[in-house]
């Protein structure tokens, strides 16, 4: 049997509006917090999300972070 591939959540995985919900069976869901105040957004958007008008980075990268350069 070939290995299975599960795509990640895309933008929702790093968005300030997301709430990660886990059920008792161990499944993970990405709940969009904007859906509570803005009907344009789905409570559980189809994943992965590659483009979203409501996306806000959960934490902006700090200087040098993610540049591939070693620090220290």
Binding positions for ligand SF4, rule: CB under 6 A: 11-12, 15, 17-18, 32, 34, 41, 45, 49, 52, 54-55
How far is residue 18's CA from residue 44's CA, in Å, rounded to a whole number?
A: 10
Q: For residue 39, give every residue at least 6 positions away whose Cβ sits within 8 Å of its Cβ, in sequence order, or none.
A: none
Min dist CB 10 to ligand SF4, Å, is 8
Q: Computed over its alpha carbons, how large is the radius of gyration of the chain?
A: 15
Q: Return the number of the residue (38 or 64) whose C-beta is nearest ligand SF4.
A: 38
Find the distance separating the first CA and the last CA of the chain, reported in whole Å. 45
Q: Return the number of the residue (29 or 41) whose C-beta is nearest ligand SF4.
A: 41
Min dist CB 42 to ligand SF4, Å, is 7
């Amino acid at each position: 049997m070939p290995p299975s591939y599960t795509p990640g959540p895309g933008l929702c995985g790093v968005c300030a509006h997301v709430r990660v919900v886990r059920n008792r069976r161990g499944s993970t869901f990405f709940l969009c917090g904007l859906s509570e105040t803005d009907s344009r957004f789905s409570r559980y958007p189809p994943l992965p999300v590659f483009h979203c008008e409501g996306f806000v980075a959960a934490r902006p990268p700090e200087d040098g972070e993610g540049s591939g350069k070693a620090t220290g």
